Chain A
Amino acid sequence: MDFFVGIKGKDFVMVCSDTSAAHSIISIKQDEDKIVPIDDHKVFCIAGEAGDRVNFSEYIIANVKLYALRNGTPLNTKSVANYTRGELATALRSSPYHCNLLLAGWDEQAGASLYWMDYLATLNKINTGGTGYGSYFTLSLFDKMWHPNLTVDEATAMMEAGIAEVKKRLVVAPPHYIIKVVDKDGIRVVKTV
């Protein structure tokens, strides 16, 4: 089961994902980076059905790139979020994409933003959130620790606390995780656990 959480800080968004790729009971690899860049300042964390995840993310990323090429300017995070939701909604009543996703981005005008979407085309702008079993253990923890002026160090501490909780209490907790940050300087890896 994929573990994804996101935390919006003062002027950055931090996302954490587990790095295991598995098929049924077999672990294929333990160092799979599932946080996918959309462009220089946005990432997707997509969980769910194996084929749908990759197909859907590649489709959205290609269309985002096309927009930027056509119009000489990139889409902002809000537009990508709404566009993605629209695609999920359109497919829902014919051949749905079974994916839950987090979209983390930084724009000049809006600053840092974090969006949560599910396979039913729900869209919410959030400060903290996650998908999967792991989020059950981390959401209330983040509620307690979050405040609007979070720094990167504080957010990292929150993430590590969340990961520790998951490892302690989730029966099938993934062993390894990667933490990334999106801010005005782009996307970078903070640490791997």
Chain B
Amino acid sequence: MAESQYSFSLTTFSPSGKLVQIEYALNAVAAGATSLGISATDGVVIATEKKLPSALVDETTVQKIMTITPQIGVVYSGMGPDFRVLVRRARKTAQAYYQTYKEHIPVAQLVRETAAVMQEFTQTGGVRPFGVSLLMAGYDDNGPQLYQIDPSGSYFAWKASAIGKNMTNAKAFLEKRYSDEVGIEDAVHTALLTLKEGFEGQLSGSNIEVGIIGPDKTFKVLSEAEVSDYLQEVE
């Protein structure tokens, strides 16, 4: 087994007070496909590019936006496998909450619990931080909400945000376009336009994924056909 010199945590502080592994994890996120989210008055939309390594990949089996509970959905930028682990944990947390209280977990609480898991992996020996940032969208008694969770475990609530490769341009675009009074339909259009900004090639129902939660408080990943319909409205 490894000598004791090498059994310290990967997340020990550097002299400048940084945790270098977290910085690198954020780099992994920044190298990932762009994802964004917009919170509207009556719902939240999250969307991502579905850039596949080859045209031979069966894109119908690739799912980047996942449902955690019927009221909460999540998308990521970064490493897909890490994302799947977090989704598993979040789903279990949500179900345990439901089993205890027979009520659905409020969005903010699920965000907190998930962030706590991510933070654990920055302070435990022998593990590395998760290489994903999450955008969690939900609708509960406190209205529609959008949260970002980083590899460090810090989380922020956003009115609109983007993560991944094109995030700076996307955020600038969103800043210009966002308004407090925008409804969910307009938010979807804005989301698609924002994705279009940094996209190489033509947007279509098969190379992006969109998830919406509207006034019915039910999270839904749009089908390819539904995405194409929205894209047509935007063109």
Contact = CB atoms under 8 A, between A and B. Distances in A.
Interface of A: 71, 73, 75-76, 78-79, 82-83, 86, 109
Contact of A75 (B99, B101, B108, B141): B101
A69 to B, nearest CB: 13
B102 A82 contact: yes
Contacts of B103: 76, 78-79, 82
Interface string B89-118: 000000000011111001011000000000
B99 A86 contact: yes
Contacts of A86: 99-100
A46 to B, nearest CB: 20
Given A71-B108, A82-B102, A86-B100, 12 more contacts: A73-B106, A75-B101, A76-B103, A78-B101, A78-B102, A78-B103, A79-B101, A79-B102, A79-B103, A82-B101, A86-B99, A109-B141
B100 A82 contact: yes
20 contacts: A71-B106, A71-B109, A73-B106, A75-B101, A76-B103, A78-B101, A78-B102, A78-B103, A79-B101, A79-B102, A79-B103, A82-B100, A82-B101, A82-B102, A82-B103, A83-B100, A83-B101, A86-B99, A86-B100, A109-B141
Contacts of B102: 78-79, 82
B140 to A, nearest CB: 11
